[in-house]
Amino acid sequence: MVTDGAGFRLADRDPGATSGVPGKAEGRAEVAELTRRMRHLQERFYADGRHRLLVVLQGMDTSGKSGAIRRAFAGLNPAGVRVTSFRTPTDDELARDFLWRVHRHVPRDGEIALFDRSHYEDVVAVRVRGLVPPERWRARYEHIRAFERMLVDEGTIVRKFFLHISREEQATRLRARLEDPRKHWKFRRSDLEDRDRWDDYQAAYEDAIRETATPEAPWVIVPADRKWHRDLVICRTIVDTLERLDLRYPEAEEDLSGVVVV
């Protein structure tokens, strides 16, 4: 977990790391156990209704953002979860400031919001593709810090995950998409253009993490070449975050001891 971006270097992090877990079988077993715990914690989180959790997922194409939503969060009751995927902005969104489309999807009391991409695209993809002048995206780091600080001050817990894959693993996954007709819908030619600018993306992510990692809104760098390890790190972080809260079932509004259902 990165709580202070000073000196952070993405190149120091190994995308193939496994946190000392011997292998996939052990990793998946722990994920299954954590998924059960997350389910119970979420029920209390929802009933308690005093907290909100925002989970941001970022990473290169094929890094496993949607796989993580499907598997690491598999135990959650959909009634308390809100998933938002941020795609290329519409004209209507581009006609406003970059946070306009994001803010309306933050979680309400008792909710967990999962962002598949986020406002970080506005300092990463936007920067690499040169969509706005450098002064514009550079100023956004401060706006993002202020925005996230405001969310935290108002009662939202913020956890940001960078799904870190290697360039080789991305090649394997893109080839798999090309070879399997059932995966063709996920493939876009523009993914290859982004892949050509791999180093620029890594640099842009590194700067974004350096500029916006804080104790209140930390980044978790997730070694994601192994899918089970990606899910394990996310599950451990979310379960730990929820366990630190003093979650309680609210008191009934009145004394129910004499109430009988006939």
Which of ligand AMP, Mg ion, none does 89 bind, CB closer than 5 to 8 A by kind? ligand AMP
Q: Which is nearer to ligand AMP, 36 or 129 (CB)?
A: 129
One symbol per residue from 81 to 100: x for binding ligand AMP (CB under 6 A), - otherwise; what is it?
Answer: -----xxxx-----------
Radius of gyration of the chain measured on its C-alpha atoms:
20
Q: How far is the CB of 7 from Mg ion (least distance, A)?
A: 31
Which of Mg ion, ligand AMP, none does 122 bind, CB closer than 5 to 8 A by kind? ligand AMP
Q: Which is nearer to ligand AMP, 87 or 244 (CB)?
A: 87
Q: How far apart are CA 207 and CA 211, in angstroms?
A: 6
Task: Name which of 2, 8, 59, 6 is nearest 206 in CA terms.
Answer: 8
Question: According to CB under 5 A, which one of 61, 116, 122, 148 is a site residue for Mg ion?
Answer: 61
Q: How far is the CB of 71 from ligand AMP (least distance, A)?
A: 17
Dihedral over alpha carbons 123, 171, 195, 148 (to 10 degrees): 0
- The H or E element that residue 198 is part of is helix 198-212
49 is an interface residue for ligand AMP by CB under 6 A = no
Alpha helices by DSSP H, 74-197: 91-94, 100-103, 125-128, 134-153, 167-179, 189-196
Which of Mg ion, ligand AMP, none does 99 bind, CB closer than 5 to 8 A by kind? none
Q: Which is nearer to Mg ion, 61 or 207 (CB)?
A: 61
- The H or E element that residue 27 is part of is helix 24-48
Is beta strand 156-164 parallel, antiparallel or unpaired with respect to 112-116? unpaired
Q: Which is nearer to ligand AMP, 76 or 163 (CB)?
A: 163
Residues 113-172 that bind ligand AMP (CB under 6 A): 117, 121-122, 125-126
- The H or E element that residue 161 is part of is strand 156-164
Which amino acid would we find at residue 105? H
Which of ligand AMP, Mg ion, none does 125 bind, CB closer than 5 to 8 A by kind? ligand AMP
The size of the interface with ligand AMP (CB under 6 A), counted in residues, is 10
Distant-in-sequence, close-in-space partners of 33: CB < 8 Å, separation ≥ 6: none
- DSSP 8-class letter at 182: G
Q: How far is the CB of 89 from ligand AMP (least distance, A)?
A: 5
Q: Which residues bind Mg ion (CB under 5 A)?
A: 61
Q: Which residues bind ligand AMP (CB under 6 A)?
A: 61, 86-89, 117, 121-122, 125-126
